[in-house]
Structures are given as C-alpha cells and as structure tokens.
C-alpha cells in the first residue's frame, strides 16, 4: 500500500489515478486531509508514504527518495498578502493562512518556527491550495504562507493586488519513505517516472 498526502494543482483523485497506473504493484490512496492521513497511517501502516518533507519528519519517517527541483530538494517559501505588503517585524499579532500539513498544534509550531517568531501567530488552516486566496480576498487572514512557485502562479491568475514578501525560508519538497520490503520496488518505480508525472507532484526527479 502507498499512502500519499500532497497538495498539488490537481485533485487528489486525479493524482491517485496517475500514481495507481504508474505503481500498479500496490494500491495507492491519496489523502486530501491531514486528519484522514494521520488516522489511516496509525491504524493500517502502509508499505510506503509520499508526502512533503515536513510531513515525513513530523511522522518520524525517514525519506528514501527526495524530490528535487532546480537541482535542490527544497523550495523557497514566502508570505503573500492583499494590496499592502506585510511587514515581517509585526507578524506575532497577525493571522497567517496556510495549507494544513501537520494538524492544528504542530502546524502552529511549524509556522512559528519558519517565521522565526517569539510568540505564535493565529494560524488559519485550509485543506487545498485553492482555499488560500479566499482567505486574503475575504480578509480572513493578513497573509498566507506558501511556496514561492505557488504564490507566483496565484498572483499571475488573480485580479487582486497581491504582494509577495520574501522571508528567506526553504521547505523540503515531496519525499518518499519506503517502509517495508514490499515498499522497496515502489522506490525503484519512482526513480523511473517521466518528467510529466513528476511535475504533477511538484518535482523534476527523485534522488537518494
């Protein structure tokens, strides 16, 4: 069994269909919500897990393969706000929107650590990338935290006056943890994926 918890530009069921065709030796389940992923992970441990690197680290799962893009296994993160660029000096009393990778408590700790804050901001978690923009549009968050590549895509297609603030932070790209002997062949199959399939997961290729 391969469990996948990734937030991509395509729907979970579409990603599941792609991966099931490519990794036909085991069943693939793609989760859209953290709580569903975490529950299933504890109740029925899989042979392999594909997730963003912070998710694997939080679950104490060692990455067997790392996804890379532009030659590195990390991606820059930024803050994106509407109309007014947010100051990094006054984030402690702000509401920060973000994709939920780790659950309420761990996600708040993660955001606090990434932003190098002395106190925790209010964190508004969403389950899909598409849900970040409405947080700014309807003033439910002062800024959203996301990868620079996703921020650039959103800004390109939105009519809002979106502002991007660099925060000099990099986060691990998707990685694959092969947990059982049955999971080992999954890693070999990932290494042979073509660029089109890899791009659906936000990486160019996989390395050990």
CATH number at residue 29: 3.40.190
Same domain, 8 and 49: yes
CATH number at residue 86: 3.40.190.10
- The structure's pTM equals 0.95
Question: If DSSP codes are grouped into helix, strand and coil, which group holds residue 32?
Answer: coil
Tens of pLDDT along 105-124? 999 999 999 999 998 999 99
Domain count within the chain: 2
pLDDT at 93 over 90: no
Mean of the pLDDT values across residues 120-138? 95
Within 121-183, residue ranges assigned H as helices are: 132-137, 148-157
Which H/E stretch holds residue 198? Answer: helix 195-200
Q: Smallest Cα–Cα separation from 33: which of 99, 105, 120?
A: 99
What is the span of the domain harbouring residue 38? 2-72+173-207
Same domain, 157 and 87: yes
Same domain, 160 and 199: no
């Amino acid at each position: 069994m391969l469990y996948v918890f990734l937030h991509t530009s395509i729907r979970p069921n579409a990603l599941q269909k792609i991966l099931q065709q490519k990794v036909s030796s085991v069943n693939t389940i793609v989760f859209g919500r953290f709580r569903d992923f975490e529950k299933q992970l504890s109740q029925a441990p899989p042979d392999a897990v594909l997730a963003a690197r912070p998710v694997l680290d939080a679950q104490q799962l060692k990455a067997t393969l790392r996804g890379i893009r532009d030659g590195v296994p990390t991606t820059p993160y930024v803050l994106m706000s509407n109309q007014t660029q947010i100051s990094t000096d006054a984030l402690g009393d702000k509401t920060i929107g973000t994709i939920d990778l780790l659950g309420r408590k761990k996600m708040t700790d993660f955001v606090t650590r990434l932003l190098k804050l002395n106190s925790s901001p209010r964190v508004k978690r969403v389950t899909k990338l598409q849900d970040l923009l409405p947080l700014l549009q309807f003033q439910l968050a002062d800024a959203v935290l996301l990868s620079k590549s996703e921020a650039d895509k959103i800004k390109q297609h939105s009519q809002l006056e979106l502002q991007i603030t660099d925060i000099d932070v990099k986060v691990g790209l998707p990685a694959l943890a092969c947990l059982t002997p049955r999971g080992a062949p999954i890693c070999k199959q990932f290494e042979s994926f073509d660029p089109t399939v890899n791009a659906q997961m936000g990486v160019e290729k996989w390395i050990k």
